[in-house]
Amino acid sequence: MTRFSAPIAEQIWDMKYRFKAADGTPKDVTVEDTWRRIARDLAQVEDNPAKWEENFYGALEDFQYLPAGRITAGAGTARKVTLFNCFVMGTVPDSMGGIFDMLKEAALTMQQGGGIGYDFSTIRPKGADVHGVAADASGPLSFMDVWDAMCRTIMSAGSRRGAMMATMRCDHPDIGDFITAKSDAARLRMFNVSVLITDAFMEAVKADASWDLVFDGKVYQTVQALDLWNRIMQATYDYAEPGVIFIDRINAANNLSYCETIAATNPCGEQPLPPYGACLLGSINMARLVADPFGAGAGLDEEKMTRLVATAIRMMDNVVDTSKFPLPEQEREAQQKRRIGLGVTGLADALLMVGLRYGSDEAAAQTEAWLKAIARASYLASVDLAKEKGAFPLFDAEAYLASGNMKNMDEDVRDAIRTHGIRNALLTSIAPTGTISLYAGNVSSGIEPVFAYAYTRKVLQKDGSRTEEEVVDYAVQMWRDLRGDAALPDYFVNAQTLAPADHVKMQAAAQKWIDSSISKTINCPADISFDAFKDVYMQAWDTGCKGCTTYRPNDVTGSVLSVSEDKKAAPEVIANSDAEPMQPHGDVIYMADPLDRPETLEGNTYKVKWPDSEHAIYITINDVVIGGRRRPFEVFINSKNMEHFAWTVALTRMISAVFRRGGDVSFVVEELKAVFDPRGGAWMRGKYIPSILAAIGGVIEQHMIVTGFIAGEGMGLKTDPTAQVVDLENAAPRGKACSSCGSYELRMVEGCMTCASCGFSKCG
């Protein structure tokens, strides 16, 4: 008998969490071996390891408590990886040396598997004086590009690339550029970005008052707060970023406001953290705690929940002592405060099991009551740990009890903390649980609604064929098992049909008893009006949320893109099924066969001198005239440096072959510009270039601009349009492909594009 309730659960375990030797041989033969490995490792710091190993195993058994992916994959493996999920790095100094020291720290952290957050508000704005070098500052956005290039190269522990969050204050002079940075689909691809919104700014927005953009005490510009707010909203409406973080609210509610200031979060936003702050995560599986599901006496088993929470808190506290850390500053911060983030998953399934419609007033009230019970159990368990092992080192009873969150806690809990102290400064957080939710049997993620009750998943077999299997939501499968073919009750709703206001209502209800924050996506229909969209954010502010992340299908992050093929005409690129056809820019011609080379071509030769290289590279670009219009036809790349010979010849042949096929070949520029050299790039003409190949891409781009093939820098296509030609009669409209398995099953869950087919997510 297998413990897995669905094939996808076992596949996720095998792919992401099963401990295997370097040659791929499984060391965890069964999932019970995985639970045993985790339990034994986290019990090693106890005075009675054997006793606690059994208790920890009992909590893990049958997916009741789900440690976050880093713990599940890494605990007990003796690998040099961190078990902490998320970090906020140190404050970025406003100096070149300090900035690149921070870049190194980021690389070391991501190398061990940590997602990181940075506040770039501390870097002087573009155009500000740089004293001592008679130059103007390039601004924080230019350095974010450097971080982005680094992150594309660093492979996190396991198999996923690092994820990053960048924040910027709403009063920074470069906030306008920050807001629109991701309108370019090729830029800052490794970042999530969020604006730090202050209470004063929201007051100015509501009063339509003026707002100063300031750095180091100097006012650079004065704008209308409402205009700036509308720019943030428009960018988010158009391409789903930036997110919004209500930073003053976060600091006011922080249990540790007396000894730290927060200015950034981890990549998914559920962990606002101070400089070098670190947090580990785990989730209680609410779907496993409902007694008599779908029955007359359905309800949460609070006694079982309390025992499970107490064990989970102890396990997470032990992770602080067993985990490795990329940097000593992170270890010191974790040890001083012992911050943990216990959350939930399967909430929507649990609500269904007790007969409540997600998003209703009754469901919101029940969610608040359940999460209060979990918060109480967590705090009391941490008090018991403090009695046994001591309070966290920076505990100050008077200051701690006077903090925002603690003022709302029940008096008996406050008295216990006052008398005995508390082991962990912060205890609760709602993290993304997409992959571990699949691993637990496809329970609903975090506090999100059920995304889809069932869908068909294509599975790649060893022989290259694909089979199909149905993936069913955990609660729906339970209903089928209990009621057979009986129709689902009308209180079954999913993310596709839920109103945005209902999402916000549930987030606000949950936030009341969460110490940190919540990773949640508010799904909005593509046809939502801009005013209604803005109201979602204002509702989040008015109801006490600490931030807001929405997703509206759009052209940049994954709206439906379908391309029709007509053998007699150039293909038309269609943004969505209701849009007017648009010709690819440049009035270009797509050819079935490559053009023959004319005897003479007009062209230019460019010289690129790469720093620290003895010989220059010469790039010749020749053009052909078609329909009275000049377009690139071939490239020759030459250098006296024989170390470059093989790749320059290969690049010459490949780029020329692409150019001779016709069409809008400007995507070649964007591909080259995105190449990052792990040995380091170089500053050329005041701009950071991540590699020689990127420099070559820049030369080709400038040639295309001069000859009129593209309108300006960054105006090239991001992908080859001819690679996306499909037959509309035989293929359904689809968005972007998963970078892991290639399927077209990406969906936005908890702030991250997640593949429904293989479970891949940028965020873990």
Extract the tokens encoding 568: 């007699």
Extract the tokens encoding 595: 């053009």
Q: How far is CA 162 from the centre of its chain?
A: 9
Contacts of 645 (CB under 8 A, 6+ apart): 639
- The answer to whether 299 and 373 have CB atoms below 8 angstroms apart is no
3-state secondary structure 559-570: CCEEEECCCCCC
The one-letter amino acid code at 593 reads D
Contacts of 47 (CB under 8 A, 6+ apart): none
In whole angstroms, how far apart are CA 319 and each of 42, 75, 322, 346?
6, 9, 5, 24
Closest to 280 (Cα-Cα) out of 346, 328, 338: 338
The one-letter amino acid code at 367 reads T
Extract the tokens encoding 286: 């609410």
Q: How far apart are CA 613 and CA 677, in angstroms?
A: 14
Closest to 315 (Cα-Cα) out of 78, 502, 58: 58
Beta strands in 662-757 (DSSP E): 682-684, 687-689, 746-749, 752-755
- The answer to whether 433 and 348 have CB atoms below 8 angstroms apart is no
Q: How far apart are CA 89 and CA 329, in angstroms?
A: 9
Half-sphere exposure of 511 (CA within 13 A, CB side): 26
Q: How far apart are CA 649 and CA 336, in angstroms?
A: 56
| Beta strand 629-639 pairing with 617-626 | antiparallel
Extract the tokens encoding 673: 């510009």
Number of neighbours of residue 568 by Cβ within 10 angstroms: 4
- The answer to whether 677 and 611 have CB atoms below 8 angstroms apart is no
Closest to 354 (Cα-Cα) out of 368, 366, 369: 366
DSSP state of 26: B
Contacts of 667 (CB under 8 A, 6+ apart): 716, 717, 718, 719, 720, 721
Q: How far apart are CA 36 and CA 46, in angstroms?
A: 16
Q: How far apart are CA 602 and CA 308, in angstroms?
A: 74
β-bridge mates for residue 65, sequence order: 284
Number of neighbours of residue 282 by Cβ within 10 angstroms: 27
- Residues with catalytic roles: 266, 268, 270
Extract the tokens encoding 520: 């949640």
